[in-house]
Amino acid sequence: MNAATGHESDSARIQWLREELNRHGHAYYVLDQPTIPDAEYDTLFTELQQLEIKHPDLITADSPTQRVGGAPLPEFAQVQHDVPMLSINNGFSEDDIRAFDRRVGEGLDQSGDVEYACELKFDGLAINLRYIDGVLVQAATRGDGSTGEDVTANIRTIHSIPLRLRTEHPPKIMDVRGEVLMFKADFARLNQRQRDAGLKEFANPRNAAAGSLRQLDSRITAQRSLRFFAYGIGHLDGAELPDTHSALLDWYSELGIAVCAERAVVRGADGLLKFFTDIGTRRASLAYDIDGVVYKVNRVQQQQALGFVSRAPRFAVAHKFPAEEATTTVLDINVQVGRTGAITPVARLAPVSVGGVTVTNATLHNEDEVRRKDIRIGDSVIVRRAGDVIPEVVAFVPERRPPDAREFLMPTACPVCGSVIIRPEDEAVARCSGGWLKCAAQRKGGLLHFVSRRAMDIEGLGEQLVEQLVDRGLVTTPADFYKLGLITLSELERMAEKSAQNVLDALTVSKSTTLPRFIYALGIRHVGESTAKTLARHFGTLDALMVANEEEILAVEDVGPVVAQSILGFLHDPLNRELIEQLRAAGVHWDESAVERQSHHLNGKTFVLTGTLPNLKRDEAQALIEAAGGKVSGSVSKKTSYVVAGEEAGSKLAKAEELGVPVLDEEALLQLLENPA
Ligand code: 5U1
């Protein structure tokens, strides 16, 4: 082979490798549907890198190898935006949103419901991506809206941003606008790495994304797992702008640009408010932070007719969630003892409203965390509350530290039972050594876990009642609940005969349970709901699990050595075996054949539940699907097998219809559960 043909065949191979890598990269980063194992991707990538080293003249700006980051820049160049990057007006209340909808209706002189596109307000940084003839040539921050900073080298490292659009006929010029952000899990990993390296942690994913994007050395950005979602357009030349905003986002998706799946087209103010409520309930479970939702008039013609007020369009509004951070004072720091004996320092705070909820306590996680954040008694601190998660102290305010601020001292004895507190050398968590027989705090925690909704679901046995039962020595183990009588219960504080009878009835009902619930209720360390379900499905019966050895337990999906040890330790402890026997003797039972019989026929099928079903509660539908081997997910994608829709189903139903995902009503779901065919 002569040099010219070698060059030619290498060139063809390079071309092929780039196409393959782009195809797999798009599937992985944009569609979230990997097509090949990581190792195979890496092999193709290395081959391309080597061929490009051999033929530097064949390197192009859109080659996947160009994402890894280049030499540091001295500073960021300024970029003038062709079309200004506008800001968006905010609304905070239902009244604000109804007023927005009224203004839009009046502006359009329309009496019927206006059509809106709803999407999320990401907590990241706005970016303009310029594509010329389909190739990414420049990326700039919003800056002051007219002039931003050139962050092209850093943006090229983000895999959800295509270096070349997936089309044969790209527009001449296309400015794609959207948000760069960091997913919560990537943020946690980054901060772990910062901690391990003794570096300063980032306060939140937004700061981490901003800090990563404003790196002069793009090799650092390349290690930071940033993401991108597109939501708007600037300059467009050489292509027709779609008629609606929702069609623009669909077009982006076809071009290989990531858009968020959490979007919907609705009508009128009621449609907007419903979208807000729906997203609000799921906010904490999203993979990324959002600070609200955005509503845009869907028809582009109508957008243009409405125009702008100062620097913001009249056709859009951001409906913000209430602020979820607030500043308050640390009155004291003491410790809480959890059901596994874990000692958690807790800041007792001057009451403060965070996102509409009054907060008086916030977790400080562990002793190291208190030292690292240097939180002292008397400090002014920033408190954060995210969804239903326990509020946490983010940082103290240095300029407001009083001279007499006191450091927290970790106690050496459990404040509840007096047992020694032990912190193993390689662990961050200190624990009370008393165990649940000696330590009332551990006992109460374990008992509350046993009765909780997702475990044995014993209604009426709340914190105050369990506290009284433990303090009076009436209940020590979960089996004691089933020995309680009407007289004993009705003699307790705040209990009348009627409520005592209700508790007894709930206890009776709880005796008929499922194996996964029972395993979860036992409170085995590291065995959450999902592991309990996997164990039940794997072993089929409790007896099979109780005789399993380490090797057999390690064969269970997602169970590693730490979890296996914890399960073995628990099940081989004579006290725990006795407890299980007592519970069975008290009448606690489940249908083991149901676990076996139903276990597999929906394996590999993913369901999404939306709206209100006529008879089944969401939890119940989920439990039935999971018992049959299916999975329940929060969002609809092409991978979804079925969407189960009830009344008032919203954006998920629309998305299912858009993607051609089969939609079931409750009856069809029940039929599918019964008939494996
Ligand atoms: N999702 C989304 N976020 N966001 C932010 N859309 C959107 N649009 C914006 C902004 C600032 O502005 C346009 C309405 C101009």
Tens of pLDDT along 516-571? Answer: 999 999 999 999 988 898 899 889 899 999 999 999 999 887 788 999 999 999 99
The pLDDT of residue 387 = 55
**Mean pLDDT of all residues in 29-48:** 79
What pLDDT does residue 87 have?
A: 86
CATH homologous superfamily for 606-674? BRCT domain (3.40.50.10190)
**Tens digits of residue pLDDT in 333-390:** 999 999 999 999 999 999 998 866 789 999 999 999 999 999 999 999 989 876 556 8
Q: Tell me what pLDDT residue 596 has.
A: 46
Structure tokens at 90: 């905010």
State in Å: Cα 55 to ligand 1 middle. Answer: 43
Report the pLDDT averaged over residues 443-448.
95
Provide DSSP, 607-639: EEEESB-SS--HHHHHHHHHHTT-EEESS--TT
Looking at the predicted structure, is the pLDDT value of residue 109 above 70? yes
pLDDT interval class at 72 (50, 70, 90): low
Residue 79 scores a pLDDT above 60: yes
Residue 265 CA, ligand 1 centroid: distance in Å: 16
Q: pLDDT tens digits, residue range 190-234?
A: 988 888 888 878 878 888 898 899 888 888 888 889 999 999 999
Contact 466, 447 (CB under 8 A): yes
Give rounded-to-5 percent helix, strand, coil for the chain: 40, 20, 35
- Across the range 606-615, mean pLDDT stands at 86
Distance 250 CA to ligand 1 centre (A): 16
Report the nearest-CA residue for atom 9 of ligand 1.
Answer: 88
Residues present in the chain in total: 677
Radius of gyration of the chain (CA): 29
Residue 277 is predicted with a pLDDT of 96
Identify any residues that bridge with 318 across adjacent strands, giving them in sequence order: 90, 294
At residue 677, does pLDDT exceed 50?
Answer: no
Q: What is the pLDDT of residue 161?
A: 94
Q: How far apart are CA 120 and CA 275, in angstroms?
A: 10
Residues 153 and 14: their CA atoms lie apart, in Å, by: 22
CATH of domain 435-510: 1.10.150.20
- Of 353 and 175, which is predicted with more confidence? 175
Q: How far is residue 349's CA from residue 29's CA, in Å, rounded to a whole number?
A: 42
| Average of per-residue pLDDT across 288-309 | 93
* Residue 541: other Cβ atoms inside 10 A: 15
Within the chain, all domains assigned CATH 3.40.50.10190 are found at: 606-674
- Please, what CATH class does the domain formed by 324-407 belong to? mainly beta
- Residue 260 CA: which ligand 1 atom is closest? 1
User: What is the rounded CA–CA span in Å between residue 77 and residue 147?
Assistant: 10
**Dist. CA 129–CA 162, nearest whole Å:** 10
**Residue 119 Cβ < 6 Å to ligand 1:** yes
Closest approach atom of ligand 1 to CA 296: 14
Tokens of 151: 């962050």
What CATH number labels 515-594? Answer: 1.10.150.20
Please name the helix (run of DSSP H) or strand (run of DSSP E) that holds residue 260, with its range, or none: none
The answer to which of 35-39, 50-54, 164-168, 313-317 has the lowest mean pLDDT is: 35-39
Q: How confident is the model at residue 494 (pLDDT cuts 50, 70, 90)?
A: confident
Average pLDDT over residues 112-129: 95
Residues carrying CATH 1.10.287.610, the chain: 3-67
| 66 Cβ inside 6 Å of ligand 1 | no
Quick check: pTM over 0.75? no
Beta pairing, strands 606-610 & 642-645: parallel
Contacts 24+ apart (CB under 8 A), 419-424: 421/343, 423/367
Which residue is associated with the tokens 């005969």? 497
Amino acid present at 164: R
Dihedral pair phi/psi, residue 513, rounded to 5°: -130, -165
Tokens of residue 630, six digits: 């299916």
Residue 115 has pLDDT above 50, yes or no: yes
Q: Is the CB of 315 under 6 A from ligand 1?
A: no
Rounded to the nearest angstrom, the distance between the alpha carbon of 45 and the centre of ligand 1 is 35
Mean residue pLDDT across the chain: 89
- Residue 310: is its pLDDT beyond 80? no
Could you tell me if 116 and 654 are in contact, meaning their C-beta atoms sit under 8 angstroms apart? Answer: no
Class of the CATH domain delimited by 90-320: alpha beta
**Which atom of ligand 1 is closest in space to residue 86's alpha carbon?**
15
- Whether 434 and 419 have beta carbons less than 8 Å apart is answered as yes
Which atom number of ligand 1 is nearest to the Cα of residue 87? Answer: 11
Whether pLDDT at 33 is above 80: no
Report the C-alpha gap between 525 and 510 in whole angstroms: 22
The band of 16, judged by pLDDT with boundaries at 50, 70 and 90, is very high
Amino acid symbol at 358: T
Sign of the C-alpha dihedral computed for residues 139, 144, 145 and 146 taken in this order: negative
Could you tell me which residues come within 8 angstroms of residue 604 by beta carbon, excluding any fewer than 6 positions away?
Answer: 629
Question: Is there a contact between 434 and 442 (Cβ–Cβ < 8 Å)?
Answer: yes
Asked whether the predicted pLDDT for residue 514 surpasses 50, the reply is yes
pLDDT of 13 = 94
Rounded alpha-carbon distances, angstroms, from residue 486 to 4, 98, 499, 501, 522: 94, 53, 10, 6, 25
Between CA 341 and CA 325 the distance in angstroms is 30
Per-residue DSSP letter, 482: T
The set of residues, in sequence order, having a beta carbon less than 8 Å from that of 70 and lying 6+ positions away, is 153, 218, 219
The predicted pLDDT at position 598 comes to 40
Q: Which are the contacts of 383, defined by CB distance < 8 A and separation ≥ 6?
A: 325, 326, 327, 328, 349, 352, 354, 359, 362, 391, 392, 393, 394
Residues recognised as catalytic: 121
pLDDT at 597: 39
Q: Return residue ranges of the chain for CATH 1.10.150.20.
A: 435-510, 515-594
**Residue whose tokens read 């089929």:** 540
Whether 86 lines ligand 1, by a CB cut-off of 6 Å, is yes
Per-residue model confidence (pLDDT) at position 671: 87
CB-CB contact of 128 with 148 (8 Å): yes
Domain 3-67 has CATH 3.30.70.1350: no
Residues of the chain with CATH 2.40.50.140: 324-407
Determine if ligand 1 sits within 6 Å of the CB of residue 87. yes
**Residue 179 or residue 622, greater confidence:** 179
| pLDDT in the model for residue 5 | 60
Tell whether ligand 1 has an atom less than 6 A from the beta carbon of residue 263.
Answer: no
Q: What's the average model confidence in pLDDT over 461-487?
A: 94
3-class DSSP assignment, residue 435 = helix
Pairwise pLDDT comparison (287 vs 627), residue with the higher score: 287
d(CA 109, CA 96): 20
Considering only residues 630 and 158, tell me which one the structure prediction assigns the higher pLDDT.
158
Which pLDDT tens digit goes with each residue over 243-270? Answer: 999 999 999 999 999 999 999 999 999 9
